[in-house]
Amino acid sequence: MKDDLLRVTVFAPAKVNLTLHVTGQREDGYHTLDSLIAFATVGDRLEVTPGNTLSLTCEGPEGQHVPADMENLIIKVARLFDDITGAAFVLDKQLPVSSGIGGGSADAAAAFRALMSIRNGGAADDDDAAAHDPGQTPFAARVLALGADIPACLLSEVARMQGVGEKLTVIPDMKGFDAVLVNPRIGVSTPQVFAALENKSNPAMSDALPRFAGLHDFVLWLTEQRNDLQAPAIELVPQIRHVIAALEHDKDCLLARMSGSGATCFGVFSDGDAANAAAKRLSQANPDWWVRPVRLTSMGKAARPRVQRHSDENAASLPG
C-alpha cells in the first residue's frame, strides 16, 4: 500500500434488468435466470480511506434507509480482504433501497474495486472484474456468495446474465439508449416476490440475441421478452402497476417495464430531450416518486476507481 494514498472514490451505477426470464430453481433454493442487463448514468458514490478499523457512514438523500452495521454488504466485502487491516467507507446514497436496480450490490462491487485498488497501491486492477467468474478463483466464489448481483455490478457492462447471476456474456456492440427510472418509494422484498412466482420454469431468451438496426428495432424485440417477476411484484405492491401505467401513458414513452424484483420501473425514450421532459412531467404529477432521466448503457469505465493521493492534495493547495 502506498504511503501517499489519500482516498479512493468509486461510482456505483444502478443495474437495470431490461428482461428477466426465470428459467428454474436449483435444489439450494437459488433461481436460475436469463436476463439482459444495462447500467444507468445514475448511481451511488463510495469514498474509501485506508485505516486501522472498518467503518461505514451513509450520507445522501437515501442514506437514512441504509443499515451501517456489520451486516451491510460493503462491510462484508471488506472482510474478505484479510490483508487490509481497515478502511473508512463513506457512502453517498442516491438510489432507493430494495428497489430492483441493484443498489446494494453496486455498492458492494464499488467496495471491492476500491479495496483492490488500495491493495495495489492505488493502481486500478484491470483484472478485478474477473471476480465475476467464480469458476476462476475461490475469491470470486466468495464474492458471489455475498450476493448474486455483485458479479454483474463488478462488470457494469451491457451483458446477458444467466445461471444464478454468475454467467455473464458482454454484448459490446449494443448501443445505449435514453430512459426514465421511476420508483414509487416502496421497498420490495426480493424473496417474497420469488416466493409469489407460481411458475419457476419459464422459457429463456433465444440462444443468440439478434442484431438490432436501431432503437425501434430493439424496442420491438423487448416487447416480445418478459420480466417474469413483474406480475407477482404487482400482486404484492399494486403501486407498481400505477408506475407502469404512468410511463405508458406518457406521449413519448416507447416501452415501460419493471426492473428486477421491483419496484423501480423504466421507460424507454427516443432521446435525452424526450426523457428529460417526461421525467419532469412525471415528477410534477407524482412529487412523492423517485424519478430520474438516465442513459442505459455500459458503465464499466465510469465505475473504475479514482485515486487521490496526499501529493495531489498538496499540489492543489500550492499557489498558482
Active site residues: 15, 149
Measured CA to CA, the distance from residue 60 to residue 206 in angstroms comes to: 41
Cell numbers for 179: 430512459
- C-alpha 294/C-alpha 157 separation (Å) is 15
Q: Which residues of 261-275 are buried (b: 16+ CB within 10 A; e: fewer)?
A: bbbbbbbbbeeeebb
- Tell me which residue of 162, 129, 169 sits closest to 148, measured CA to CA: 162
Strand-pair partners of 5: 309
- For the residues of 153-215, what is the DSSP string, one character each? HHH-SSEEEEETTTEEEE-TTPPPEEEEEEE-S----HHHHHHH-S--------SSPPP-SSH
Burial class (CB in 10 A: 0-12, 13-18, 19+), 8: buried
Check: CB of residue 66 under 8 Å from CB of residue 58.
yes
Name the burial class of residue 6, with classes exposed (0-12), middle (13-18) and buried (19+) by CB atoms within 10 angstroms of its CB: middle
> Could you give the CA distance from residue 157 to residue 172 in angstroms, rounded to a whole number?
8
Pairwise CA distance, residues 179 & 183, whole Å: 13
